[in-house]
Structure 1
Amino acid sequence: MSAGRLAGRYSLIRPLGAGGMGKVWLARDEMLDRDVAVKELTLPEGMAPKERADSVTRAVREAQATARLRHPGIVALHDVVVEQDRPWLVMELLRGRTLADTVREYGPMPPAYAAKVGADVLEALTEAHRQGMQHRDVKPANVFLTESGRVVLTDFGIARQEGQATITEQGMMIGSPGFIAPERLEGQPGGPAGDLWSLGATLHVALTGRPAYDGSAAERVRATLTQPVPVVPGPLGPLVAAMMAPHPAARPEARVVIDALRQVAAGGPLPPLPAGQAPTAPRRVRRRGRAVLWVAVATAAAVVLGAGGFLLLRESGGTPEAYTVPMDVCTLISSAEVGGILKTQRPPKARPGADEVGPTCEWPMRNTGIGIQVQKDSDTVDPWSMTPVTARALFENQKRYWGRYDDLDWTWPEIGVTTSQKAKRTPIRDIQGLGEEAFGYELTGPTGRVHSAHVFYRVANLVVNIEYTTLTNRPTDEDVKQAALRAARASERALRDAG
């Protein structure tokens, strides 16, 4: 692969998001003159050459199976490229926002609209199931609402074709806790009824603004296996409860659910469910295999603390293990600290935002600014649902990723950089005394002078990215590095104080 180009035709423009399985890029298909999304799949470090080659072959085979899924409700896969010993998936570029982001910003959806979304997703799932494919990770972050009104199911990256293992199966539970059906938590392979359960959990979020089972990953697993399904108010409540019935055989058939959702979407009442497919009394699920070990270990380690509004899990050493309650990212760097870093007595107002990687905040001025992002991987609903294990994996993935590319394109319209600029990355360096682990790098312009500094650090289950940029000539390279480090230390103090 040449710098920023795949297969001689796909020009990588900028990253759109990162997760435990890789990174998603905005790219340009120069042959067909269109924008596309490119997903770079990363393989675990330390794999033997033959194992790596077999994994790449299997990933390509799975992508080919996914490419056969042609449906307006399924993101289209255009091409698969194998370069640098790993696969790259070229997909249609969707413009809009996820269901998770929509609910986070606007709150619960009206029942009729949620019903329309659910019916569209289930139509897409039905087509996948007809071709022997299970999605296995239906959740709000994987339901995309486009600007044109399409409802699209994304990220078939852990989809499973019947009778096959997948690239991501390494003796681990696949999916997102709180959206994994009980039978799969018990160690069974699952089936279409498991995807239906996950869609029910997704509709619970759409209708109430919160997940059916909340808390840490282990708490969500335990609740899924042992607790009754929380009641959803409104006309869709009985249907969501039936979709999330603990036993797969008790769940309605997909066509029954689609018809019911379409009727509610059209403004009608929920029709009666067929006999034997009404909500059933919750039962205690018999746990075995990986799930019971996961729950037992987490239960033994967990201590609930009320300080600062956070739920903290503490290890024996007493250090915070997990922040699980969402916070306003803009509060992690004070206005006074922003003014000091940007050297102004009138610091800019914080501008909150969010993308697929996580919530952000920035303080932009003309030619300079500070940005912060609390990150998540693509398999997790939000950063507060990350665990220390997944956060460590995400941190290492980011470090490996940014260490690969020396030449980068960047923009920051809010400070005046509206067109893509070329920059060179300085070597990745470890940073001591910040969080549990930290690294940083800088970007230099055509003159070789540093204009941007990035710092990544992990504290407990959170991965934080800090950026500082200045286009003026007064600060030295060291000044730019220290400004980013000062912002990082300020945000870390805020997190420690909150805990």
Structure 2
Amino acid sequence: MRADGSGSYLLAGRYRLLERLGEGGAGTVWRALDETLHRSVAVKQVRVPGGLSPQERAEFAHHAIHEARAAGRLRDPAIVLIHDVVLDGDQPWIIMDLSTGRSLDKVVKEHGPLPPGLVAAIGLRVLSALETAHAAGIVHQDVKPANILLDADGTAMLTDFGIAAPVGGRGDRYGSAGSPGYMAPERLNGEASGPASDLWSLGASLYTVVEGRPPFERAMPAAVAAAVLLHEPPFPTRAGRDLGGLLMAMLAKEPAARPTAAQVRAALSGGPPPRVQVSGPRRRRWLLPAALAAVLVLGIGVWYGVAVLTAPDAGRYAAAPDPCALLPASKAAELLATSAKAERTREGECRWRVWRGSRPARELTVRTRAEQPRGGLDGPGAARALFDADRANSTASKGTTFRLTTGEVADVPGVGEAAFGQSTFKKHLTGSNGQGTARVLFRDSNLIGEVLVYEQDARGVGADDKDLAARAAKAVAGALRG
């Protein structure tokens, strides 16, 4: 019998192969007809490494079948279900749902990078699938854009649990599992896999989808492996500040430095991104032998050398100043033309509200965030990259979408080293009024500051709101330098 797509191969007397759908490092996927239930299914022909002895081939097949059966017990709306596992001789086959979605790598190749909002939604779906697997003691081991399917309605599903392994396992002893650009550093080092490894791969996948290129893109597999182990990726400028910050945190070299699944979920749902902990020079020197080993494992015997990294400039601010202390009561009252009490709403954020009866009529919010060296950038450089990415994203968002109108970006002189302002207006479901926001973002050394003036029931964003935001930003920047 031949698995050549000619229709002559009837697997296990039941699944007739009809069409080759795709091929990767872990195997080949076919569209097939289940002649017992008269339905279309996807059949994965697991790739058996070459050069194995008969006993090793039998061990490989047993391992593949065992892990596929374990993955087949997983139930989550974002997981492509496994229905059956077949062993034909020493060749494992996995029978799965046939999804109509297209893989994210093909979507990006044909249509370019996806918008941050959609990428965050995709991330939440895949995260749900991974949390289900991790709760069952299983790590996926091959999260990458090619294994994430996107339906026409934007719904994402995670497929290809065929090389899944137990949490804490050391991966595939035969070396066929995973793709170098999406394998966490500890996996390239031959260390145990865990949930943090899958989250790293998810971060690399989302980075690729939102940027249109992988985080560690290089010409040769050896260079990719070395980059994963030794270098930080460029900050993802298309992602914007919050999603970009989350992705950088997920790609931390040390598993313990990465955000947890709960933190990733909170950030993808609109919360602030976790802080990035950058590996120090001592850890990087320790990784050099592992990088060389990874090159040899990949079958590449060429090495180009690694420059010794020096300690970068951290910037003026060791930590973000308390935003409530940057606007004393007297200054807040001057700006708002009435007294208002400072409210510390969350870390790095303070709010002053003016009430109209029992409802807040106007709000002034100040946020501060100190950036640390990362991605080959010093502290001020990291803040500049974030600021520039936010400005580019804000500039691209100008226009009207449904009820939301976003204004153009304009420079705000005299605030920090650089600053820009922008307004947004979202109409209520009924009537002509809506929620208006005037925003100013500025940077000073390694600090990013943000000021927002919010009107709950307005006819638009007036010049007075923009002026208030600019004056408040100038007062905050002055207090920082004072």
Letter in 2 for 1:279: V
**Which amino acid is the alignment partner of residue 262 of structure 1?**
S
Are residues 299 and 57 of structure 1, via their aligned partners in 2, closer, same or farther at CA, if it must alter by over 3 Å? closer
Q: Which residue identity lines up with residue 77 of structure 1 in the other structure? A: I
Q: Is the 2:84–2:95 contact (alpha carbons within 8 Å) kept by the matching residues of 1?
A: yes
| Paired residues for 1:201-350 under 5 Å | 201-215=204-218, 216-233=220-237, 234=240, 235-263=242-270, 271-273=271-273, 277-284=274-281, 285=284, 286-287=286-287, 291-295=291-295, 298=300, 300=302
Q: Distance in 1 between matches of 2:145 and 2:255?
A: 21
Seen in structure 2, the aligned counterparts of structure 1 residues 46 and 279 have a Cα distance that, compared at 3 Å, is closer
Partner of 2:12: 7
Q: Is the CA contact 1:12–1:27 (under 8 Å) kept in the aligned structure 2? A: yes
Give the equivalent residue in structure 2 for 1:178: 181
Quote how far apart the aligned CAs of 1:254 are: 0.5
Out of 8-17 and 89-98, give the one that drifted further.
8-17
Structure 1 residue 247: deviation in Å? 1.4
Distance change (3 Å), C-alpha of 1:66 and 1:288: farther
- 5+ residue gaps, structure 1: 264-270, 304-499
Contact 2:189 2:294 in 1 (8 A): no
Cα distance in 2 for residues equivalent to 1:23 and 1:191: 26
Cα-to-partner distance string for 1:153-190 (whole Å, 9 max, x where unaligned): 11122211136566x422x3742122111222222113
Structure 2 matches for 1:390-405, cutoff 5 A?
Answer: none
Structure 1 distance, partners of 2:138, 2:255, is 17
SS of residue in 2 equivalent to 1:17: strand
Residues 46-65 of structure 1: matches in 2 within 5 Å? Answer: 46-65=51-70
Q: Return the offset for 1:113.
A: 0.5
Cα pair distance change 1:15/1:272, threshold 3 Å = closer
Q: Which residue of 2 aligns with 1:130?
A: 135
Report the equivalent of 1:108. Answer: 113
Note the aligned Cα RMSD (angstroms).
2.5
**Following the alignment from structure 2 to structure 1, what is the Cα–Cα distance between the partners of residues 269 and 183?**
25
Q: Give the corresponding residue for 2:40.
A: 35
* TM-score, normalised with respect to structure 1: 0.54
- Residues 51/157 of structure 1: CA separation in 2 closer, same or farther (3 Å cut): same
Q: Which residue of 1 aligns with 2:466?
A: none
Match of 2:193 in 1: 190
Amino acid of the structure 2 residue aligned with 1:175: G
SS of equivalent residue, structure 1 residue 242: helix
Percent identity (aligned): 45
Amino acid at match of 1:130: A
Deviates more, 1:2-11 or 1:223-232: 2-11
Tell me if the contact between 1:187 and 1:288 (Cα under 8 Å) persists in the aligned partners.
no
Partner of 1:452: none
1:435 maps to: none
Larger Rg, first or second structure (1 or 2): 2
Query: CA–CA distance in 1 between the matches of 2:142 and 2:44?
Result: 17
What is the aligned partner in structure 1 of residue 27 from structure 2? 22
Aligned mates of 1:96, 1:60 — CA distance in 2: 26
Amino acid at match of 2:135: R
Letter of the structure 2 residue corresponding to residue 210 of structure 1: R
For residue 148 of structure 1, report the CA deviation from its aligned partner: 4.9
- Where does structure 1 differ by over 4 angstroms across 4 or more consecutive aligned residues? 163-166, 296-299
SS at match of 2:232: coil
Would the alpha carbon gap of residues 279 and 47 (structure 1) be closer, same or farther in structure 2, given more than 3 Å must change? closer
2:100 matched to which residue of 1?
A: 95
Q: 1:18 to 1:109 in 2, by over 3 A?
A: closer
TM-superposed deviation, 1:72 = 1.4
**What are the within-5 Å matches in structure 2 for residues 464-475 of structure 1?**
none
Q: Which ranges of structure 2 fall in alignment gaps of 5 or more residues?
A: 3-7, 306-482
Q: CA deviation at 1:41?
A: 2.1
* Map of 1:479 onto structure 2: none
Q: With structure 2 as the length reference, what TM-score do the two structures score?
A: 0.56
1:89 deviation in Å?
0.8
Q: Judging changes above 3 Å, is the alpha-carbon distance between structure 1 residues 289 and 63 closer, same or farther for their aligned structure 2 residues?
A: farther
- Residues 323-370 of structure 1: CA distance to partner in whole angstroms, max 9, x if unpaired? xxxxxxxxxxxxxxxxxxxxxxxxxxxxxxxxxxxxxxxxxxxxxxxx
> Which of 148, 160, 164 is residue 159 of structure 1 equivalent to?
164
Partner AA of 1:272 in structure 2: P
State the match for 1:422 in structure 2.
none
